[in-house]
Amino acid sequence: MEKKDFEAWLDNISIAFLSLTDLQKNETLDHLISLSGAVQLRHLSNNLEILLKRDFLKLLPLELSFYLLKWLDPQTLLTCCLVSKQWNKVISACTEVWQTACKNLGWQIDDSVQDPLHWKKVYLKAILRMKQLKDHEAFETSSLIGHSARVYALYYKDGLLCTGSDDLSAKLWDVSTGQCIYGIQTHTCAAVKFDEQKLVTGSFDNTVACWEWSSGAKTQHFRGHTGAVFSVDYNDELDILVSGSADFTVKVWALSTGTCLNTLTGHTEWVTKVVLQKCKVKSLMHSPGDYILLSADKYEIKIWPIGREINCRCLRTLSVSEDRSISLQPRLHFDGKYIVCSSALGLYQWDFASYDILRVIKLPDFSNVSLLGFGEIFALLFDNRYLYIMDLRTEKLISRWPLPEYRKSKRGSSFLAGEMSWLNGLNGQNDTGLVFATSMPDHSIHLVLWKEHG
């Protein structure tokens, strides 16, 4: 058939086809298909794919594509990334989707990062770390060996761990290498705190002492307590040292001279914890920037202003039971905004602005679980058998790690948390270093450390 005749025939057929009903059109197509050979069927197949399969991510505006993608879960999105390079490019650049997914996993979000492909990479890293936590594969263990008697006091800061022992020595260790940096002769240590130049120790001999790391010399001796000193804290800016003792008192000292500035009374049990911290909230009793002293015994937490007046009055006393039927465990968290302490009933969180109890987190058999660290997203807990991580948003335990038979202590100084920043949200850089340390019956120190990312 000539081209001109064919085009005229095709126009007539098209007009007739358009006048048919849908059923008649289908029957016509079926008949034509039955008359077609392999060449025609291949042509039909290729063109049907183009006509029927529309790539909406390629055709839609990017903003509309991002809106649709927000309704899919991250695992489905990862599967969709395999469809084509174009899909992978669009989905990977959907920042809001991946940031939300990271937040849901307990990851910190840095809004200053401009790279549109950054957050999918972060999510993949986050999902791996959270799987390791769930599968009990996120940590590894190590030991520090060097003391010849019971290790009672531990303090951790910036990758360094200080240990105080009944062998009348204190040692400073580099956790990453396991090497002892300093070892100095001291008295028996019940509590330690250090910085680059000095070490402050509270002792079972009822005194507090300050030592120089480089020479091992005792630079100051604080005498006045009539019972063992279980906790110390200090601030160089204020030139103040505070100590809590088995004589039921808290003493405030001039750090540089050793002079006792104040003796705070009111506790009726051993004072097992003192914390010196800058306030971050405003209330009728304090303002942001004020230094606050917290002291805790078996039943009460007392809040004091830091001043040099002799008759310093307690601002407030916190407890979980008026009749003292419920005791507090000797682990206290205070970040300037919230006070957190564990008891046989669970974790208690107080708002420091109002002193109201914000919440009580309860777990089965909580009487044996103690607090190690508390953040905005996670809490670190432990009992006689395991180290636990709790997601504070759901109040569910998301991971645990077995612990050896460590040396038990009623006053709680022989175990501590390591790096704490990850409790406010992981970020891919802060899940390194020390997680937990405890003294062992053989006088070694058992360390639990973050395992490097796979």
Of the chain, the percentage scoring pLDDT greater than 90 comes to 64
pLDDT band at residue 143 under the 50/70/90 scheme: very high
Q: SS3 for 214? A: coil
CB-based burial label for 353 (10 Å; 0-12, 13-18, 19+) = middle
Q: Is the pLDDT confidence value at 53 over 80?
A: no
Cα–Cα distance, 414 to 324 (Å, whole number): 26
What pLDDT, on a 0 to 100 scale, did the predictor assign at position 132? 93
What is the 8-class DSSP label of residue 154? Answer: E
Any idea what the Cα angle at residue 153 is, between residues 149 and 157, rounded to 5°?
130
Q: Which range has highest mean pLDDT (43-47, 65-69, 240-244)?
A: 240-244
Closest CA to 199 of 169, 178, 230, 227: 169
From 4-13, 185-194, 388-397, the region with the lowest mean pLDDT: 4-13
Torsional class of 306: left (φ above 0), alpha (ψ -120 to 50), beta (otherwise): beta
pLDDT of residue 412: 46
Rg (CA), the chain: 33
Residue 290 contacts residue 305 (beta carbons within 8 Å):
yes
Beta strands (DSSP E) in 175-315 are 179-185, 189-194, 198-203, 208-212, 218-222, 229-235, 240-245, 250-254, 260-264, 273-278, 291-296, 301-305
Rounded to the nearest angstrom, the gap between the alpha carbon of residue 160 and the centroid of all alpha carbons in its chain is: 19
Q: Looking at residue 263, what is its pLDDT? A: 93
Q: Identify whether the C-beta of residue 192 lies closer than 8 Å to the C-beta of residue 171.
A: no
Cα distance between residue 195 and residue 168, in whole Å: 20
18 token code pair:
């358009």
Query: pLDDT (tens digit, 9 = 90+) per residue, 223-254?
Result: 999 999 999 999 999 999 999 999 999 999 99
Residue type, position 226, single letter = T
Q: What 8-state DSSP symbol labels residue 314?
A: P
